[in-house]
A and B are shown apart, each in its own frame.
Chain A
Amino acid sequence: MTDRNPDDLLLDEAVLDRLLQAEARTPPPPFPAALRARILAAAPARRALAPAVQWMRAASIAATLSAGAAAGFAGGAAAFSTPGEQVLLNLVLSGPEDPFAAFLEESSMENGA
């Protein structure tokens, strides 16, 4: 009686590969739309900025605006050429409570009223 090689009782390697390939080719059921929706519902939402970041952004915008306003004001001041306009401008810049009234007073003094 001859001893049989245990490997003789096994499926051939090549046949196993074919079986595995055939099984792998079996089309899987489609990815369920409901599962996709559930996964996406849990996906990160657009995050609101943290308060500190919001303050920094607000401060940055304010600085930009005030710099722009200052530059614009300086440019405008150079365009004022008449004495009356210069007076008005000076009064505005020096910050009286009622610059227009001060302008009228100044004008009337100049006109000898």
Chain B
Amino acid sequence: MLRAAAAGDRLAAGHLVDQCGPRILALARRMLGDEQAAEDVAQEAFLRLWRVAPDWRGGEARVSTWLHRVALNLCYDRLRRRREVLLAEPPEQIDESPDAEQHLVEAELASRVRAAAAALPERQRAAIVLCHYQELGGAEAAQVMGVSVEALESLLSRGRRALRAALADEAPAQRTGEGR
């Protein structure tokens, strides 16, 4: 498909964007916590893909893995530049369903988890985002981060421990929720 896109096939290019774009944007959103910056990263990652597309050697790396890696490095660059962590806040959506209150509770909880993840050191956050949210396998996530699988597991473990500490006060709420 990338070869077709490189040859100017707009349909193939559109299909690639539809297939990989949302996941790359999600990765950038979770890493940066800033919608505009995340869009810029996703766009830049695809522009770089278009540039290498004519010389792409199929089978060398999956396009999705390559895009994840480029996007993650772009996120690191931005995080290093601004040296601050912003929290990702999804746009408010009016929920008129009967379960609105439950959704609100879940959204609040999700927001706290995002905040805790956003406060992690960037490499631990990347490991959590790639493995838990992007649903990459260990080997692929390690490839994206440019580390060994063992190093990835260590980052994951430290990240999870930090999250458990940050969210420790969520435990009673969780137990209350279970009792409902």
Contact = CB atoms under 8 A, between A and B. Distances in A.
Given A19-B174, A47-B7, A26 B39 contact: no
Interface residues of B, number: 44
Contacts of A43: 5, 8, 10, 13, 50
Interface in A11-70: 11-13, 15-16, 18-20, 22-24, 26, 28-29, 31-32, 35-36, 38-40, 42-47
A26 B110 contact: yes
Contacts of B174: 15, 18-19
B132 A20 contact: yes
Nearest to A9: B168
Contact of B171 (A12, A26, A38): A12
B22 A31 contact: yes
A18 B167 CA distance: 12
Contacts of A28: 22, 25-26, 29, 90
Contacts of B7: 44, 46-47
Contacts of A39: 17, 21, 42-43, 46-47
Contacts, number: 105
B171 A11 contact: yes
Contacts of A38: 43
A16 B46 contact: no
B107 interface: yes
B166 to A, nearest CB: 8
A10 interface: yes
A9 B128 CA distance: 21
Interface centre among B35, B54, B106, B168 (most CB of A within 10 A): B168
Interface of A: 9-13, 15-16, 18-20, 22-24, 26, 28-29, 31-32, 35-36, 38-40, 42-47
24 contacts: A9-B165, A10-B161, A12-B171, A15-B171, A19-B113, A20-B132, A20-B133, A20-B163, A22-B109, A23-B109, A23-B113, A24-B133, A26-B90, A35-B25, A40-B10, A40-B13, A42-B43, A43-B50, A44-B5, A44-B7, A44-B13, A44-B54, A47-B7, A47-B8
